[in-house]
Structure 1
């Protein structure tokens, strides 16, 4: 057995683990990184990267079929589904070197391609290595949750870990789960020529603002996606090419392929956490505000920590714990400024509180300002006028922003900056955007906050009249 002593042991080479390993090594720590599966983790191989690449293929096909408003005749796109998957894998291949074993070894990281299992509070076994570390970071991520639905074990199905390997275009794709993954894949596939049905037990995109969600779902339905809400799956029948889903309320859906997209589960089964004195919760590893587990020398970050399951959240976690693990300084997480986005068309993004959450938290102190895409000149030129932004404001400071429309994910950046730094609406209004850009929507939202204060105020009008009367 090969024994290794290291300063920082990182278990998992996904987004969070790689960020910790790179940062710690370049700051002078001795770092060991374990990965038993793919370098780059879920995001690179099965999640963010391939899904956005497939969405891009769908957009290209949709553009051909909907170009008439621009003076270009619509044509029926000739979709090569296997070639679209080649595009997906080419995108992964272009990004993969950044996350590769070779790159991290060049940064001084000791990379061991094995899964890790705790032997004690300070030791981890990985293959024929036993590693003891001053600090350990668990960054093992999450995997698709496959619920115990009667009949599912006898039916072929896809998850986000297999759908991007599928090269036969589904005739009729059934998607169980109406969250971001299910909805993104639904639009991508209907644009690539598949018939698509989404089956959701409650409300599709249930964590998002209902008004914004309606704009997204209306678009999907217009494009041909069937979305069945309040449809709890009771049983799944059939075989490859002929799959039937029965719901608790008696509905039945038949299709050729099945994608399960009902959520995620933390990857903790291999870790033997009890040996390390680490407690868990129903959604992951128990951590405090500094991301420490119940073993104070061990941290958990990203999806496995049971909070927001986003790649950028894992990266943020990495930055938080580097301060603590390397320098012994206090460092805690904040979540008020963490954005998320669903990359449908229109996109939907959220930063901070929704209007419902803000009303509950702030009551009469809350003001909500709004600006519609239909009044943005660039959106009009691009024919992307569907959507809006609404910003929740308390005492002149934004506490949340909901955006649905073209490039909503890009627009969210500014509001994350504002919430992270407690900026005022006056500072947003002072920004100058180039004309014409979609980004002007953010500035116009800030302007909507001040307009009634300037243009509907009798005091302002009296002051202007007084100054004009006496101004030389």
Structure 2
């Protein structure tokens, strides 16, 4: 017989969202049980954001050695020790892991069960030999790499984001299937660490991003020697004596590309298989668990947050969702998730960051005549010129009255610069609030001010203003 226990909140999943709910609810006085079948910290800490950015940091250092000539420093080809790179990545993970550990959460008063959770009824689950009844459940099981049904893939060695960070040996030729953010980041990282890289994308690489900004990133990757194949399907893969062979098809023409290693990065799938959701009357599909604006499932005692809902698959969204759930469960407030100001960043070099409406979306929703597109180039920014990082631009979309609808930035530190525009879009600010800022010089932040100021250029430097100024000066 399973031991029966009761709690206020039972959180299923120890990733970013689940840990935020568990920590917040426990410290606010609720009894909390947290269930995690894998590693604490989830995908972000162990297989995603943290290791990928640590790997990219190593790759950036290698690239700096190659491109130092413009600064008067003799460039050289770096000698890369992949075992040492691996150790750097895992040291970064290890440095963060204590913050997400079982011990820390137990110290916060959370009961942690390391096992798989399965619903046995609308308000009951089983895990760790125990039957748990909770007032509320929060499903935060995240997502994992989707592996497509490609002919021969099951019999061919391949990596996903869950396994590629364990690599310790040099990679000769990495073939990446998938040109989304994960595929493009890892492609550039390994190219800079010395591998030959081919990326194969069925549609357009970085297809969910602003097309003009994505072209800047793609041009940079191609300039570094990455073979980027867009509009190309993978029809077959096979293991060979030298590594792997990938059969490609484009416009009816087939081609075989051979490499040493294969990375599959074609998307994500929600982790729902083991939950027995039907037992709890929770609506779901292969895309994820259906939720309303308050993040409640069809079973109103069960919430779902983060990747498992099939929405924006970002760590920061899981953390945001956690706050919505806490307000609903602990304080009985009908808090609703708002999605109009969700930012995302692709951490290639240059970075690509976005928030709010893209240009194409604004045109579709409002019409080209009802919006303003404001731009400023990195090449016109003094700090960017001083540091030799002039690729890229900022693009801001407003309505005719100057209300900020969205922003796209492609260039150095775009992920840091987008924060100002997140606030502007979220608070529905007008462009004058940015144009009137006093910003330190010289910084890349001036890109935002310059772009915002361009909203007023047509009216400030018009013939009407000239006539007014000349009239006023006549009486001075």
Q: What TM-score, normalized to structure 1?
A: 0.98
Query: Does 2:342 correspond to 1:341?
Result: no
2:409 to 403, 406, 411: 403
Cα RMSD (Å): 1.0
Quote how far apart the aligned CAs of 1:241 are. Answer: 4.0
Deviations 1:226-275 (A, max 9, x none): 00111111111124742011123302211000000000000000100000
Separation (CA, whole Å) in 2 of partners of 1:438 and 1:105: 43
Equivalent residue number for residue 283 of structure 2: 279
Separation (CA, whole Å) in 2 of partners of 1:453 and 1:89: 55
Q: Higher mean Cα deviation, 191-200 or 458-467?
A: 458-467
Trace 1:142-157 onto structure 2 (pairs within 5 A). 142-157=143-158
Quote how far apart the aligned CAs of 1:449 are. Answer: 1.1
2:360 to 338, 356, 360: 356
Q: 1:240 to 1:169 in 2, by over 3 A?
A: farther
1:82 match: secondary structure: helix
2:427 to 421, 429, 435: 421
1:301 to 300, 305, 311: 305
Trace 1:126-145 onto structure 2 (pairs within 5 A). 126-145=127-146
Equivalent residue number for residue 172 of structure 2: 171
> Is the 1:240–1:257 contact (alpha carbons within 8 Å) kept by the matching residues of 2?
no
Separation (CA, whole Å) in 1 of partners of 2:472 and 2:97: 64
Query: Does 2:85 correspond to 1:75?
Result: no
1:248 match: secondary structure: strand
> Is the 1:156–1:240 contact (alpha carbons within 8 Å) kept by the matching residues of 2?
no
Quote how far apart the aligned CAs of 1:375 are. Answer: 0.4
Trace 1:237-248 onto structure 2 (pairs within 5 A). 237-239=238-240, 241-248=242-249
Equivalent residue number for residue 14 of structure 2: 13
1:379 to 374, 379, 384: 384
> Is the 1:156–1:239 contact (alpha carbons within 8 Å) kept by the matching residues of 2?
no
How many residue pairs match? The answer is 470
Separation (CA, whole Å) in 2 of partners of 1:355 and 1:139: 33
> Is the 1:8–1:30 contact (alpha carbons within 8 Å) kept by the matching residues of 2?
yes
2:121 match: secondary structure: coil
> Is the 1:350–1:400 contact (alpha carbons within 8 Å) kept by the matching residues of 2?
yes
> Is the 1:346–1:404 contact (alpha carbons within 8 Å) kept by the matching residues of 2?
yes
Separation (CA, whole Å) in 2 of partners of 1:122 and 1:386: 54
> Is the 2:11–2:35 contact (alpha carbons within 8 Å) kept by the matching residues of 1?
yes
Trace 1:183-222 onto structure 2 (pairs within 5 A). 183-222=184-223
Q: What TM-score, normalized to structure 2?
A: 0.97
Gaps spanning 5+ residues in structure 1: where?
Answer: none
Deviations 1:25-53 (A, max 9, x none): 11111111000100000000000000000
> Is the 1:155–1:240 contact (alpha carbons within 8 Å) kept by the matching residues of 2?
no
> Is the 1:34–1:116 contact (alpha carbons within 8 Å) kept by the matching residues of 2?
yes
Quote how far apart the aligned CAs of 1:169 are. Answer: 1.6
Structure 1 segments, 4+ long, off by >2 Å, are: 458-471
